[in-house]
Amino acid sequence: MPQGKIALNKKQGPDLAVTIYDVARAAGVGIGTVSRAMNNANHIHPDTRKRIMEIASQLNYQPNGVAQRLARRKTFTIASVVPFFFNYFYLDLLKYIQNELGHCHYDLFVYSIDRFDNMNQVFDRVLAERKTDGILILSLELGADYAEKFRHAKVPVVLVDATHAQLDSIVIANRKGALVATEHLIHLGHRRIGMINGDLNSFPARSRLQGFHEAMQHHGLELDPIVMRMCDAQTGAHGFNEQAGYLAMQELLALKSALPTALFIAADVQAVGAMRAIHEARLRIPDDIAIVGFDDIDFSKYIGLTTMKQPLQEMARLAVQRLLLCMECRPDGDFHLELNPKLVVRQTCGAKKQPVIVSV
C-alpha cells in the first residue's frame, strides 16, 4: 500500500460508498467529531479537523447532502418572488441572481405573481411553506402588515427594485435615471416631449414619472397630459411589455400635428412596441420622433436604442451578498442601497452614431 494512503475495509469493497463510520474508524474518533469537522462547527481542535478532512479526502468520502441539510436545518435554497415572470428585465435579473447563488452552492426557487390581486396569497404561501433559507422579493411593494409578518417569521428578506423602511432593500435610482433621460432629450433641443410609462401601481413606474416631471419643470417645459401614456397592467408585466408600448404609440400617433418630437419610454421592451408602431406609420426614428428608453436589456444594443442602463449584475451580486449575510445572522444595521443607472447613447435619440456610456 502506498505510504500515506488509508486502506478500505475489505467488507466494504471498491463499489460501495464510503460512509461517515468508515471515516470515523480510520481517524479513531466518533461520528459526531467527523460531523463537526465536515460542518466546520465549533468545539473541535483545528488539528483534529485537518486530520479528519485529509482522511475523508483519501477515502473519497462524499457527505450525504440531504443529511447535511437536515442536520444544519438548512435547505440551501433561496426563494425569489417575481411579478410576471416572462419579462425581459426579470429574466436578466434572475439570470444574474442564479449565477451568484451558484457560486455559493445555493439553488433558486421562483414564485411568480401574475396579478396584483393574488400577491398576498403568494406571500402567505411563501411564509407557510418555509421551503427556503432566505427570500428575494423583486419589484413588489409590501404593505406594513406583510413586512411585519416576514419580520415576525424571522426569515431573511431583501427587497430588490423596491423598498420598505423595515426591510433591507436595494433599488435603482429610477427617479434620477428618468430625469437624466429626459434632460438628454431637452439638451438635444426637444421641447415637446412625451412619455410612455407602465402601470402606476408599480414602484419603478411612479419613480420614473416623478423624474420625468422634475426634468420638464426644471427647464420650464409644459407637462402636457395628452402626450403621456400610463399603460394598463392588464396587458401584463405592470404594463412594461411590447404590446403596451405599441398600443400607447398608436394613440400618440393619432394626435397628428400634436405629436411630440421626442419620447422618454420607461422600459426598453415598451420602446420596441413603440418603434414598431412608428415604422408602420412610415415615420423615421430619430428624425421624426427621438426615443430614449430605460433598462438596457440584452437586445437594446441590436436595435440602436438609446437608454438608461441598469446595473443588474451589480444589483444581483449585492442583493445575494446581503441576504447570505442576514442568513448567517451577521447583519450590520439597516441596509438601503440605491444604484445609479447610466445613459447609453445610441441611434434612436439622434445624438450620436456610435454608442457611448455617460455616467449619471
Say whether both 205 and 284 belong to one domain.
Answer: yes
SS3 content of the chain, % helix, strand, coil (to 5): 45, 15, 35
Q: Is residue 10 part of a domain?
A: no
- For residue 69, the model assigns a pLDDT of 47
Query: What pLDDT, on the 0 to 100 scale, is given for residue 309?
Result: 96
Rounded Cα gap, residues 59 and 7, in angstroms: 8
Are residues 268 and 328 both part of a single domain? no
Domain final residue, candidates 30, 49, 71: 71
SS3 of 209-231: the string is HHHHHHHHHHCCCCCCHHHEEEC
Q: Do 277 and 327 share a domain, yes or no?
A: no
Instruction: Answer yes or no: is 153 within a domain.
Output: yes
We report the CATH number of the domain holding residue 37 as 1.10.260.40
What integer pLDDT is reported at residue 64 of this predicted model? Answer: 57
Enumerate long-range contacts of 21-24, CB under 8 Å, 24 or more apart: 22/59, 22/61, 23/52, 23/55, 23/56, 23/59, 23/61
Check residue 113 and give its pLDDT: 80
* pTM exceeds cut of 0.85: no
Same domain (yes/no): 213, 223: yes
Q: What is the pLDDT of residue 12?
A: 46
Q: Name 358's bridge partners.
A: 343
Would 198 be classed as within a structural domain? yes
CATH number at residue 243: 3.40.50.2300
9 assigned to some structural domain: no
In a shared domain, residues 134 and 52: no
Whether residues 117 and 198 share a domain: the answer is: no
Domain total of the chain = 3
| Residues 144 and 194 occupy one common structural domain | no
348 and 205 fall within a common domain: yes
**Looking at residue 141, what is its pLDDT?**
83
Among 8, 36, 71, the domain boundary falls at 71
Same domain, 211 and 353: yes
Determine, yes or no, domain membership for 12: no
Tell whether 232 is covered by a domain.
yes
- CA-CA distances (angstroms) from residue 27 to 48, 49, 60, 195, 204? 9, 10, 14, 70, 58
Compute mean pLDDT per 10 residues along the chain, 360 residues long, and list them.
46 57 85 74 80 88 56 74 76 90 85 78 84 88 87 88 90 96 96 94 90 97 94 71 94 93 96 96 96 93 95 93 84 84 95 52
What is the pLDDT, as a whole number, of residue 240? 86
Range of the domain at 161: 76-172+313-339
- Are 199 and 321 in the same domain? no
Angle, helices 119-129 vs 144-152, to 10°: value is 10
Using CA atoms, how far apart are residues 227 and 313, in angstroms rounded to an integer?
34
**Whether residue 351 is found in the same domain as residue 256:** yes
Burial degree of 177 (CB within 10 A; 0-12, 13-18, 19+): buried
Domain presence at residue 351 = yes
* One domain, residues 94 and 56: no
C-alpha cell at 262: 421626442
Q: Are 343 and 308 in contact (CB under 8 A)?
A: yes
| Among candidate residues 232, 338, 27, the one with its CA nearest the CA of residue 19 | 27
